[in-house]
Amino acid sequence: MKITKVETLEIELDGVKATTTWRPVFARVYTDEGITGMGEVGMTFGAGAVAAGPMIRDLAKRFVLGKDPHDTETIWETMLRRSFWAQGGGPVVFGAMSAIDAALWDIKGKVAGLPVHRLLGAETPAEPLRCYASQLHFGWEEEHRTLDDPAAYLEAAQMARSQGYDCVKVCPICIPPKGQKTRKRGGFGPAERKLARARMEAVREGIGPDADIIIELNGITSAVGAVQLSELLTDLDILYVEEATHYNSPDAHVRVSQRAPIKMATGERLYTRWGFLPYLQAGSIDMIQPDMGLVGGISEGMKIAHLAHAFDVGVQAHICGSPLATAIALQFEAAIPNFEIHEHHSFCLKSFNKELFEEDLQPVDGRITVPTAPGFGMTLSKDAEKRMEKAEVVLK
Ligand code: MG
């Protein structure tokens, strides 16, 4: 079996009911036997998604065309060693490698007639996976909102709880209060602490005592601010604090983890096993959050999960992308021994995102079923495909 073509597909959805950036980027790999596979880059939001497509095509042209899609380890290692830039990293090169790697696993699954988690040696989970409703500060509904008033946080938490979720994630400081334009770093003053506290008390009230809360900080906080918020909110029985500091200094994260009274989760902007290693060695991380569209794909995600397993640390895949990103993460989560909880992002509720694929992967009573169709089991919508920008590299 030989790879004959690699195509990139992307769709600009900025401002389409979303008040944030949203540009899913996909790789579709073709073979001489007519079987195709798809993967996704984890750069849907933020700046830089436009860089991912050209990187996919350049890596494909140099290292993927003409190869057998079953040889995922060899292809991955070749991209790492011979692209020059992967030995140094970043989201563009590892995002591109991730999308290619996932597409190859999709093909391998289709050839074998098995879902990817079974190719990875795991039986299908007997029960659906526990989910949390992620990013409640954007509302928990079709409309994308930025919640300010604590009463709105109460309502969003009640909505998630009424749907059966027993865990939610929310940022107490990501949405600046009315009239304020920027979010500040450094320590928080009395008014900011009061608002953060009121929002999180509302969330606790909304979900009740028998549910978990994860606090999202998005790396916005400095070390001192993260410790301050952790102390302020710890009596609300918080499961984890996520991205307490930015990733440019693993040492800052060590300091926060030593001083904050809440367990730490992070990892959506770390790449490969080497990116996670210093956090694990320092003991500054209690749950890792690798993104299958950024860490290097399924092949590298498995190595990262097992590395964390050696440190007795659990895993939640970070997911913020199209329905394909959810499908890829579910296969990974079903295959690892240290799965903790599945992230169901508020963007998974938006029709402009859901309609990109025919399958709609939604939890029931806060639990999500792992698909068992071959590969990732996803079908790109024909209507959505017509609206996508495409480019390709072909085996000569
Ligand atoms: Mg996050």
DSSP string, 35-74: -EEEEE-S-SSSS-GGGHHHHHHHHIIIIITTS-TT-HHH
User: What CA–CA distance (Å, rounded) separates 163 from 363?
Assistant: 9
Question: Between residues 231 and 176, which one has the greater pLDDT?
Answer: 231
Instruction: Using the predicted structure, report yes or no on whether residue 176 has a pLDDT greater than 90.
Output: no
Mean pLDDT in residue range 171-192: 82
Between the CA of 166 and the centroid of ligand 1 the distance, in Å, is 18
Average pLDDT, the chain: 96
Q: What is the pTM of this model?
A: 0.97
Rounded alpha-carbon distances, angstroms, from residue 341 to 9, 69, 252, 312: 30, 30, 26, 15
| Alpha carbon of 372 to ligand 1 centroid (Å) | 28
Average pLDDT over residues 175-188: 76
CA distances 34 to 29, 30, 282, Å, are: 10, 7, 47
3-state secondary structure of 278: helix
C-alpha 244 – ligand 1 centre gap (Å): 10
**C-alpha to C-alpha distances, 33 to 37, 46, 111, 312, nearest whole angstrom:** 12, 37, 10, 42
pLDDT at residue 309 greater than cutoff 70: yes
- Listed by start position, the domains of the chain span 3-114+379-394, 119-368
Query: What percent of the chain clears pLDDT 70, i.e. is strictly above it?
Result: 98
Give whole-number Cα distances, 303 to 94, 120, 318, 336, 341, in Å: 15, 12, 16, 10, 19
* 8 Å CB contact between 370 and 328: no
Q: If you measure from the C-alpha of residue 267 to the centroid of ligand 1, how many angstroms do you get, rounded to a whole number?
A: 8
Phi, psi of 216 (to 5 degrees): -90, 130
Higher-confidence position of 221 and 280 = 280
243-247, 261-265, 280-284: segment of lowest average pLDDT: 243-247
Amino acid at 150: P
Residue identified by tokens 């995922």 is 72
Band of residue 219 on the pLDDT scale cut at 50, 70, 90: very high
pLDDT, position 182: 64
Question: Cα(216) to centroid of ligand 1, in Å?
Answer: 6
Ligand 1 centroid to Cα of residue 292, in Å, is 14
CA 65 to chain CA centroid, nearest Å: 28
φ, ψ at 269 (rounded to 5°): -120, 35
Residue with tokens 């909880």: 341
* Joined tokens for residue 390: 């495409």
Q: Is the pLDDT of residue 341 over 90?
A: yes
Whole-angstrom distance, CA of residue 103 vs CA of residue 332: 14
Question: What spacing in Å lies between the alpha carbon of 177 and ligand 1's midpoint?
Answer: 20
Q: How confident is the model at residue 184 (pLDDT cuts 50, 70, 90)?
A: low
Mean pLDDT of the region 135-143: 94
Residues 165 and 180: their CA atoms lie apart, in Å, by 32
381 pLDDT band (50/70/90 cuts)?
very high
How far, in Å, are 63, 207, 241, 287, 342 from residue 72 at the CA level?
12, 43, 35, 27, 25
Residue 179 pLDDT exceeds 80:
no
User: What is the structure's pLDDT at 99?
Assistant: 99
Q: How far is the CA of 268 from the centre of ligand 1 (A)?
A: 7
Q: What is the pLDDT of residues 61-102, one digit of tens each?
A: 999 999 999 999 999 999 999 999 999 989 999 999 999 999
pLDDT in the model for residue 183 = 63
pLDDT tops 80 at residue 17:
no
Residue 124: phi and psi, rounded to 5, are: -65, 130
Q: What's the confidence (pLDDT) of residue 19?
A: 66
| Domain covering 119-368 in this structure, CATH number | 3.20.20.120
Distance 396 CA to ligand 1 centre (A): 42
Compute, in angstroms, the gap from residue 113 CA to the centroid of ligand 1: 34
**Which pLDDT band, with edges at 50, 70 and 90, does 226 fall under?**
very high
- DSSP class of residue 348 equals G
Tell me the CA–centroid distance for residue 324 and ligand 1, in Å: 18
Question: Residue 310 corresponds to which amino acid?
Answer: A
Average pLDDT over residues 352-359: 97
Q: What is the mean pLDDT of residues 257-278?
A: 97
When pLDDT is averaged across residues 136-149 and rounded to a whole number, the result is: 93
Fold (topology level) of 3-114+379-394 = Enolase-like; domain 1 (3.30.390)
pLDDT of residue 81: 97
* CA 217 – ligand 1 centroid, Å: 7
Q: Distances from the Cα of 167 to the Cαs of 164, 194, 209, 245, in angstroms?
A: 9, 23, 11, 22
Q: How far is the centre of ligand 1, averaged over its atoms, from the C-alpha of 348 (Å)?
A: 15
Mean pLDDT of 226-235: 97
